[in-house]
Amino acid sequence: MPETILKVNGVSKTFSSKKVDVKAVNNVSFDVKKGETVGIVGESGCGKTTLGRCIVRALNSTAGEVIYKSEDGTEYDLQHIDKKTMKKIRREIQMIFQDPFSSLDPRMTVYDIISEPLRANFNLSKKEMEERVKGIAQKVGLNPSYLKRYPHAFSGGQRQRIGIARALVLYPRIIVCDEAVSALDVSVQAQVVNLLKDLQEEMQLTYLFISHDLSVVEHISDKVGVMYLGRMVEYAPTDDLFGKPLHPYTEALLSAVPIADPTVVNDRIPLEGEIPNPANPPSGCHFHTRCKYCTEKCKTEDVEFVEMEPGHYVACHRAKELKLKGII
């Protein structure tokens, strides 16, 4: 049994302005084991990107803790450690971004982009640095002769490879992929997904794969968390989640996935209405306004995120009684 490498514990992030407080992430907890891929799915505005940024501490969360267990077994709470330790830990948790165009500085050569993290963290000689950058470039499928070029010479897929190389050059242990393949064309998407899987095996990486694309998540993840309005509503091993979801929202979400096969007719479970305003979420279970299984209790009582089956967490009052349909 692999050890737990990351423990997200009650993380919340509230964006406050003069008039309203928006709880973008609300009390989210889950564990990530070493070497596995955890997918986070949800529709736009559900807080998945904010959650990812809180975990890498690009944002400071307003509550909760993120416990990271480093190689030697020491545990650090990423939300509360001092700057110096953070700098040391930071190189072990890296990020890959969605937009392959805005994530690379157009004014730097590919070599400078990939070597920047090295220069910031280590005092390597020129030769050592060159070797390391070339090695990483080769690993992600970039021709080392391209290192002199600027990002404008590359297509989206190749740029994403550069972004991956930059994230890998510090030999991190966890990588947060924020919609890392969403902006790419289908065939390129497949190339990058395959690359990420190969790299995971080779470098024993742990991925946090944030995406709205359920089929990619299903393909790459070992466990999947579903978010709705800032809360995590279900977290389970991939097959469990897609096979027998326990939350009505997951069920509706799965039924809406378009399948590239004209013979498959999926009977979609329609979702009533629209996503409520996150600044003013509904009482009780946030999903009750659109849930067809909604009862009085759902409208008034807050739900807890509980382990219904081993490893399968859900936040629904009626999880026990409902028989929901999956798609595998």
Q: Using CB under 8 A, which residues numbered 172 to 231 contact another protein?
A: 185-191, 193-194, 197, 212, 214-216, 218-219
Least CB distance to another protein at residue 239 (A): 9
Q: Which is nearer to another protein, 75 or 185 (CB)?
A: 185
Rounded CA separation 209/165 (Å): 17
CA angle 26, 240, 235 (to 5 degrees): 10
Strands 63-69 and 312-314: unpaired
Q: Which is nearer to another protein, 73 or 262 (CB)?
A: 262
Beta carbons within 8 Å of 258's beta carbon, 6+ residues apart: none
Least CB distance to another protein at residue 65 (A): 19
By the 8 A CB rule, do 252 and 271 touch? yes
Residues 120-139 contacting another protein, CB under 8 A: 120-121
Only segment of 10-18, 109-117, 279-287, 305-313 that touches another protein (CB under 8 A): 109-117
Least CB distance to another protein at residue 191 (A): 4
Candidates 142, 143, 159, 156; CA nearest to 108 is 159
Least CB distance to another protein at residue 296 (A): 25
By the 8 A CB rule, do 35 and 25 touch? no
By the 8 A CB rule, do 143 and 110 touch? no
Number of residues that bind another protein (CB under 8 A): 79
By the 8 A CB rule, do 235 and 223 touch? yes
Joined together, the tokens standing for residue 155 give 């297509």
CA distances from 11 to 160, 197, 293, 324 (A): 29, 28, 28, 28
Q: Determine if 242 is a binding residue for another protein (CB under 8 A).
A: yes
Q: Which is nearer to another protein, 72 or 267 (CB)?
A: 267
Which x/- pattern over 25-64 shows residues binding another protein (rule: CB under 8 A)?
A: ------------------xx-----------x-x------
- 36: Cα separation from own chain's centroid: 12
Q: Which is nearer to another protein, 235 or 242 (CB)?
A: 242
Q: Which is nearer to another protein, 72 or 201 (CB)?
A: 201
Q: Which amino acid is at 243?
A: G
Q: Determine if 20 is a binding residue for another protein (CB under 8 A).
A: no
Residues 285-314 contacting another protein, CB under 8 A: none
Candidates 12, 32, 14, 41; CA nearest to 205 is 32
Q: Which is nearer to another protein, 198 or 307 (CB)?
A: 198
Which x/- pattern over 65-104 shows residues binding another protein (rule: CB under 8 A)?
A: ----------------------x--xx-xxx-xxx--xxx
Residues 261-290 contacting another protein, CB under 8 A: 261-264, 268, 270-271, 274-275
Q: Which amino acid is at 226?
A: V
Rounded CA separation 219/146 (Å): 31
Q: Determine if 328 is a binding residue for another protein (CB under 8 A).
A: yes
SS3 312: strand
Residues 136-175 contacting another protein, CB under 8 A: 141-143, 146, 148-150, 152-153, 155-158, 163, 166-167, 170
Rounded CA separation 89/268 (Å): 45
Rounded CA separation 282/302 (Å): 10
Least CB distance to another protein at residue 154 (A): 8
